[in-house]
């Protein structure tokens, strides 16, 4: 289409000013015409600079920043002479004028009076006197930008330019697996932006999406058909171990005991007598043969298994709360016994064993176990298939975490599911013997990331692994948070190659963003002007090399 557009159609007729001396590739000083152009100009307005007197030179596309109102005599820090005569201010003649800077973001090539293409590398500096137009034909600019994203499937569009509602800012989907961060104070519309972005991803790319809905209020409402509760998800031994580690507030010193205990417990919950499949925990492998030969542990496990099975049966047939709570007490006691036996078998000192038992009674009440025992046993692997099914309907898979009793359990689930993705990649690529590259093409969305992406624990480690190594396997990450410091681990941040950011709750957070993303020229005052739904976008997915303000499409 671009070949057929003439320069004058493209520029339109909204002439607002002209270029002053001292332009450079990074900033072009502009004087704005008095009247309507001067009063209507706003920071972030999109402008086109046309050097009419030098035919064949490119048109510069830029954004207006640093608007200044000036007057030759009413200078700051100089006595003007009307200070003592308030009435005089109305009578003196004012020679006001407005200067702004246009920050170039792209160069639009012209040929024979027509538009010939767009480049994000600005090298041409327009001469003083060149004309400046406000963008009026946003549709033409939108298709010009889209046409520049060669090699890309359909671009993702989450909104339009903040002041030019008809200029869509297309995002390059090739960089989804280079990870995305969305930051902003509460209520700025992060979760809604994520929703719009996710819809674009599942509808326009080959990626499926798994969303963890921390509160169960942000995403489940939009996708009731493709939401499952996390209670349906079968926890693996590492997830169970992590739940106990966190709930019992244990240090890493105890991890071997807890991991081995969790493997035994898992078998009891499944009603298994013997261990059929190898489990991938190094520490357990060492203790495996010993633990298994040990009749002492065997007895305890058998007893626990019987109680658990009885409990599950009981639950189907009766609602006798007294009986249930007695059974839960028995399960709690037997679980504690199993933990003690596993720990002593692995060489724990008697004091350590007692300490574990004490923590079980102090930190975990019998009722707390219910949520673990009642879990349905949908294998984690099935979730990735469900996400692919949902994708075929143009939707993401939402995992509603709101029914979980503890944050530890939520974290264990998130960690386990991400970990399964890695096992899948490993199996398909290395164990299958097919010697071909099979990406997983899945994006994991972590809202309220302060709970999952910080703290150096199992869950944070899993999130970080995607951030560091996911791109190669099409394993992408979208993290959302109100804050950066103390909320998203620096190693995760450093790997977010596209960032959306809005008004931030802490001014120091802008500095944090600056450390890993090129957001040249944006400062706190720019952010202060953003309203809910408005974000700057910067990084690999944005074709514009500089951050640009967008207004997110409305989510009803």
Ligand X SMILES: Nc1ncnc2c1ncn2[C@@H]1O[C@H](COP(=O)(O)OP(=O)(O)OP(=O)(O)O)[C@@H](O)[C@H]1O
Q: Under the rule (CB under 5 A), what is the footprint of Mg ion?
A: 190-191
Shortest distance in whole angstroms from residue 499 CB to ligand X:
15
Neighbours of 96 (CB within 10 A): 11
247 vs 482, beta carbon nearer Mg ion: 482
Query: Does position 413 bind ligand X by CB under 6 A?
Result: no
Residue closer to ligand X by CB (options 4, 186) is 186
CA 326 to CA 195: how far, in whole Å?
45
Among 162, 190, 266, 395, binds ligand X (CB under 6 A): 190
- C-alpha distances (whole Å) from 363 to each of 237, 248, 253, 366 are 20, 6, 18, 10
End-to-end alpha carbon distance in the chain: 33
Binding mask 1-40 for ligand X (x = CB under 6 A): ----------------------------------------
Distance of closest approach, residue 188 Cβ to ligand X, in angstroms: 4
Is-contact 503 469, C-beta < 8 A? no
Q: Are 130 and 19 in contact (CB under 8 A)?
A: yes
Q: How far is the CB of 169 from ligand X (least distance, A)?
A: 14
186 binds, among Mg ion, ligand X, none (CB under 5 to 8 A by kind): ligand X
What is the edge-to-edge ordering of all strands in the sheet holding 180-183?
168-171, 156-161, 548-552, 534-539, 498-501, 180-183, 475-481, 442-446, 208-213, 397-400, 227-229
d(CA 5, CA 53): 20
**184 sits near ligand X (criterion: CB under 6 A):** yes
* Residue matched to tokens 């480049």: 119
Task: Tell me the site size for ligand X, rule CB under 6 A.
Answer: 14
- Residue 165 vs 187, nearer CB to ligand X: 187
Instruction: Give which of ligand X, Mg ion, none residue 240 binds (C-beta under 5 to 8 Å, depending on kind).
Output: none
Residue nearest ligand X (C-beta atom): 189
Query: Applying CB under 6 A, which of residues 161, 192, 340, 493 lies at the interface with ligand X?
Result: 192
Which are the contacts of 426, defined by CB distance < 8 A and separation ≥ 6?
A: none
* Interaction between residue 83 and ligand X (CB under 6 A): no
Q: Please, which residue, 171 or 369, has the CB nearer to ligand X?
A: 171
Contacts of 385 (CB under 8 A, 6+ apart): none
Q: Which does 552 bind (CB under 5 to 8 A by kind): ligand X, Mg ion, none?
A: ligand X
Which of 263/444 has CB closer to ligand X?
A: 444
Q: Least CB distance from residue 484 to ligand X, whole Å?
A: 13
- HSE-CB for 1 with a 13 A CA cutoff: 12
**What does residue 321 show for φ and ψ, rounded to 5 degrees?**
-65, -35
Strands 59-70 and 97-111: antiparallel
192 binds, among Mg ion, ligand X, none (CB under 5 to 8 A by kind): ligand X
> Applying CB under 6 A, does 216 fall inside the site for ligand X?
no
User: Burial, 465: exposed, middle or buried (Cβ in 10 Å; 0-12, 13-18, 19+)?
Assistant: middle
Residues 524-553, interacting with ligand X (CB under 6 A): 532-533, 552
Q: Which is nearer to Mg ion, 347 or 486 (CB)?
A: 486
Nearest to 179 by CA among 373, 467, 409, 374: 467
> Which lies closer to ligand X via its Cβ, residue 138 or residue 532?
532
Which residues in the 465-484 window bind ligand X by CB under 6 A? 482
Residue 137 as a binder of ligand X (CB under 6 A): the answer is no
Q: Residue 533 binds which entry of Mg ion, ligand X, none, with Cβ cut-offs from 5 to 8 Å by kind?
A: ligand X
Closest approach, Cβ 219 to Mg ion, in A, equals: 9
162 binds ligand X (CB under 6 A): no
Please, what is the minimum distance in Å from the beta carbon of residue 350 to Mg ion?
Answer: 49
Q: Is 435 left (phi over 0), alpha (psi -120 to 50) or beta?
A: left
Nearer to ligand X by Cβ, of 156 and 263: the residue is 156
Asked if 155 and 149 touch (Cβ cutoff 8 Å), the reply is yes
**Residue 155 or residue 189: which is nearer to ligand X going by CB?**
189
Min dist CB 417 to Mg ion, Å, is 20
Q: How many CB atoms lie within 10 A of CB 125?
A: 18
């Amino acid at each position: 289409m671009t070949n057929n557009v003439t320069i004058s159609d493209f520029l339109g007729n909204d002439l607002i000013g002209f270029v002053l001396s001292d332009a450079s590739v990074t900033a072009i000083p502009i004087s704005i015409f008095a009247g309507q152009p001067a009063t209507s100009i706003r920071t972030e307005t999109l402008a086109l600079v046309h050097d009419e007197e030098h035919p064949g030179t490119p048109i510069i596309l830029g954004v207006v920043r640093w608007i200044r109102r000036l007057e030759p005599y009413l200078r700051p820090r100089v006595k003007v002479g009307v200070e003592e005569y308030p009435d005089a201010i109305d009578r003196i003649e004012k020679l006001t004028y407005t200067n702004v800077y246009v920050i170039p973001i792209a160069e639009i090539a012209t040929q024979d009076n027509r538009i010939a293409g767009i480049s994000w590398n600005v090298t041409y500096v327009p001469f003083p006197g060149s004309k400046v137009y406000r963008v009026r034909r946003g549709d033409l600019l939108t298709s010009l930008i889209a046409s520049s994203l060669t090699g890309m499937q359909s671009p993702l569009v989450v909104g339009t330019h903040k002041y030019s509602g008809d200029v869509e800012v297309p995002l390059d989907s090739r960089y989804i697996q280079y990870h995305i961060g969305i930051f902003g104070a509460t209520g700025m519309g992060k979760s809604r932006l994520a929703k719009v972005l996710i819809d674009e991803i599942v509808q326009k790319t080959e990626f499926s999406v798994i969303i963890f809905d921390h509160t169960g209020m942000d995403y489940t409402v939009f996708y009731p058909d493709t939401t499952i509760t996390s209670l349906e998800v079968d926890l693996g031994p590492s997830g169970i171990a992590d739940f106990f580690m966190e709930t019992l507030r244990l240090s890493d010193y105890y991890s071997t005991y807890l991991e081995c205990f969790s493997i035994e417990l898992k078998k009891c919950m499944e009603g298994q007598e013997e261990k059929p499949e190898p489990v991938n925990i190094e520490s357990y492998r060492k203790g495996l043969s010993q633990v298994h030969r040990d009749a002492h542990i065997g007895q305890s496990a058998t007893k626990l298994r019987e109680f658990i099975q009885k409990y599950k049966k009981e639950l189907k047939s009766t609602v006798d709360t007294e009986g249930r709570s007695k059974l839960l007490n028995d399960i709690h006691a037997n679980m504690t016994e199993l933990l003690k036996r596993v720990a002593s078998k692995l060489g724990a000192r008697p004091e350590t064993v007692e300490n574990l038992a004490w923590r079980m009674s102090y930190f975990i009440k019998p009722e707390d176990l219910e949520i673990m025992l009642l879990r349905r046993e949908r294998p984690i692997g099935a979730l990735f298939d469900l996400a692919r099914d949902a994708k075929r309907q143009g939707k993401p898979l939402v995992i509603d975490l709101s029914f979980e009793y503890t944050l530890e359990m939520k974290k264990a689930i998130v960690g386990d599911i991400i970990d399964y993705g890695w096992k899948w990649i490993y199996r398909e690529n290395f164990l299958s013997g097919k010697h071909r590259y099979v990406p997983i093409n899945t994006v994991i969305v972590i809202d309220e990331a302060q709970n999952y992406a910080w703290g150096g624990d199992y869950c944070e480690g899993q999130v970080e692994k995607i951030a560091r190594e996911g791109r190669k396997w099409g394993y992408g990450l979208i993290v959302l948070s109100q804050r950066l410091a103390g909320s998203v681990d620096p190693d995760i941040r450093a790997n977010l190659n596209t960032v959306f950011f809005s008004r931030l709750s802490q001014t120091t957070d802008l500095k944090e963003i600056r450390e890993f993303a090129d957001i040249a020229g944006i400062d706190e005052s720019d952010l202060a002007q953003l309203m809910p739904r408005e974000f700057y976008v910067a990084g690999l997915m944005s074709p514009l090399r500089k951050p640009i303000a967008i207004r997110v499409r409305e989510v009803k």
